Structure 1
Amino acid sequence: MAFAQRPGDRQKLESAKIAHITEKLSLTPEVAQQFWPVYNQIKEKERELRKQEMEMRRNEANNTMTDAEAEQALAKFFELKEQQLALEKDAAEQYQDVLSPKQVVQLFKAEAEFHRMVLQKFSERRKGGRPPQ
């Protein structure tokens, strides 16, 4: 989503993601109404953890760290990774309150697929090529 630079791009990208996931999971309107609030809440938590990781990496990018500071940084890094894994597990459980286990697997696959598509289109635009229609 960070690729959306122009006004409206972020909204278009979000709408495309919603459509992609809805189609891949064959969500009915009733299930979608229950699913999307849960999904959005989990994604907000994921964004916060990624933000913390980026901040941590930025703060520790300098080479003036002592060994003790580096040990603390490593401990923080792995603590953050554990939090991310715990969130993924919790997300899978919460999704299963609304979706079947098969749909949860399809969701993870659809998210990865959408991410690859976005990266591919971004790469094509950077190279000056036109994305396939």
Structure 2
Amino acid sequence: MKRILFIAAIAAVFGGFSQSPEALEKIEAAKIALITERLELTPAQAEKFWPIYREFGKQRQDIRRDFDQARRNFDPNKASEEENKKMLEMANQVKERQLKLEREYSNRILKVITTRQLNNLRKAENDFKEMLLRRIRAEQMKRQKQRRNDGRLNDRRN
């Protein structure tokens, strides 16, 4: 049954990929299905695991967002040597914060799942990212091909 739900979730996500809120919810559902399947979470584990994992994801996202905002208006070619040094230091601080966060949440998660499951979690996250990136690239190529075909069709009509 889990495998059927997982396959259905993945198909739903990749059947209509876009950046709409509904699509993002489908992507999240597919990620949850993949992780649940790969970790073979028991219902008791899942009940404790998912709140911790969601909290971890939010913390990770906050760290990335803070750094992205700082980088948004930064141009290393126009920045002074001092500004470039500050940005490098900020990047190192972000990496340190991410590592600290990873350690903290790994310890919390290990109170709920096994070390094998934690290792599988990291693999599942990477596999999901790869799968999503492949799908995005495929969609982009499909759109480019469609545009080229539409352009050729318009040329023939004229």
Give the structure-2-normalised TM-score. Answer: 0.75
Change (3 A) 1:23 1:58: same
Q: Distance in 2 between matches of 1:4 and 1:95?
A: 32
2: CA distance between counterparts of 1:99 and 1:7?
31
Counterpart secondary structure, 1:81? helix
Q: Where does residue 10 of structure 1 map in the other structure? A: 24
2:114 maps to 1:100: yes
Match of 2:95 among 81, 86, 98: 81
Stretches of 4+ moved more than 4 A in 1?
none
Q: State which of 129, 132, 135 in structure 2 corresponds to 1:115.
A: 129
For residues 21-75 of structure 1, the C-alpha deviation after alignment (integer angstroms, 9 at most, x for no partner) is: 0000001111100000000000000001111121122132253322122222221
1:41 corresponds in structure 2 to 55
How many residues of Structure 1 are paired with residues of Structure 2 in the alignment? 127
2: CA distance between counterparts of 1:101 and 1:62?
Answer: 41
Q: Please give the alpha-carbon distance, in whole angstroms, between the structure 2 residues aligned to 1:40 and 1:61.
A: 33
Aligned to 1:27: 41
Instruction: Provide the rounded CA distance (Å) in 2 between the counterparts of 1:89 and 1:109.
Output: 17
5+ long unaligned stretches in structure 1: none
Per the normalisation by structure 1, the TM-score is 0.88
Q: Which residue of 2 aligns with 1:64?
A: 78
Secondary structure class of the residue paired with 1:12: helix
Contact (CA 8 Å) 1:4, 1:13: kept in 2 or not? no
Q: Label 1:97 to 1:86 Cα distance change in 2 as closer, same or farther (>3 A).
A: same
Greater Rg by CA: 2
Structure 2: gaps (5+ residues): 1-16, 144-158
RCO (CA 8 Å, sep 6+): is it higher in 1 or 2? 1
Greater share of residues in helix: 2
2:7 matched residue in structure 1: none
